[in-house]
Structure 1
Amino acid sequence: MTKLFSIFSATIAALFLTACGQGDVLLVEKAVVNLSPVDGNPSAGYFTVRGGPEDVTLVAVTADDSMRLEMHETVEEDGVSKMQAVEKVAIPAGGTVKFEPGGKHLMIWGVGNSSIQRGTLRMIFIFSNDDRIQFDAVINKVGGAKTDDAADADAQDG
């Protein structure tokens, strides 16, 4: 009987651990920085946040190798689109929030040359539950090298 109880307990424990899978973890992914082609103008940052087991708020994004970084969103007023700064962004439990062109995004001033040469900007995403997620965003230079997909398409055309 004790052996049967041990097997049953191990099975139940495994089921509970399986339920705490990857979908229950707060994470940041697909972060990119599109450098501005004009010196002095801000670059744009885009990424996706996947919510964890509880509702949280993204309260800040920092990058040591930049002069200034702000969260913004594009809104429409009287038929005119404009950008405005946002102090925080709600991330629902198990949900997805995308920072993308035409919506929420980062404005990044003064990306450092060392990050540009390395091809990544290390950012820290700070949440209301005191979680901090470090992520290296890929830097895209305007008019720079093509991605592998674009290069493959050109090779097929020729």
Structure 2
Amino acid sequence: MRGIFAGIAVVATAGCAQPKQLSVDGAWVRLAAVQGRPAAAYFTIHGGPADATLINVTTDVAIRAEMHESMASGGVTSMKPIPRVAIPANTDVVFAPGGRHVMLYNMNPGITPGGRLITLTLSFADGTRILQNATVVGAGDTGTK
């Protein structure tokens, strides 16, 4: 009898699990190969129970940050600024090399690969802000271990 009640308790608590929340992980920043050129930030946004819209990403170690998207057309790769990114509910949106990314202009020259983590602030249209630490890698590094 005790085993039956234990099984019921497990099923009951599983139904009470909190819904998945909007979150960010896997953040990293690749420094530029040439001093004075922009760095790039990458991360994954995990959509929560409702649609969201990312409207800005900032960091206190760069003067300016812009969301961009790379695209290829006719054998030519280009990139353009994007003002916002839709984050559908319960969907992952990846910022990665060759796709969406955040350009970080005029980075603090004291930021070095393997040094301290930097903090990215992701701002959403509904007023939500997520602070996410990012590792720093050198030019050409992939950010993955």
Where structure 2 has 5 or more consecutive residues not aligned to the other structure, the ranges are: 1-8
CA distance in 2, matches of 1:80, 1:70: 22
Query: SS at 1:122's partner residue?
Result: strand
How far did residue 16 of structure 1 move?
A: 4.2
Query: SS at 1:130's partner residue?
Result: coil
Q: Which amino acid is the alignment partner of residue 86 of structure 1?
A: I
The residue that corresponds to 2:61 in the other structure is 65
Equivalent residue in structure 2 for 1:86, among 68, 82, 89: 82
Query: SS at 1:110's partner residue?
Result: strand
Q: Aligned ranges for residues 120-131 of structure 1 at < 5 Å?
A: 120-131=117-128
Structure having the larger proportion of residues in helix: 1
The residue that corresponds to 2:3 in the other structure is none
Q: Aligned pair 1:44/2:40, yes or no?
A: yes
Question: Is the radius of gyration larger for structure 1 or structure 2?
Answer: 1
TM-score relative to the length of structure 1? 0.75
My pick for the range that moved more, 72-81 or 34-43, is 72-81
Structure having the larger proportion of residues in strand: 2
Query: SS at 2:107's partner residue?
Result: coil
How far did residue 65 of structure 1 move?
A: 1.5
* Consecutive aligned runs of 4 or more in structure 1 exceeding 6 Å deviation: 10-13
The residue that corresponds to 2:22 in the other structure is 26
Query: SS at 2:13's partner residue?
Result: helix
How far did residue 39 of structure 1 move?
A: 0.7
CA RMSD of aligned residues (A): 2.5
Where structure 1 has 5 or more consecutive residues not aligned to the other structure, the ranges are: 1-9, 150-158
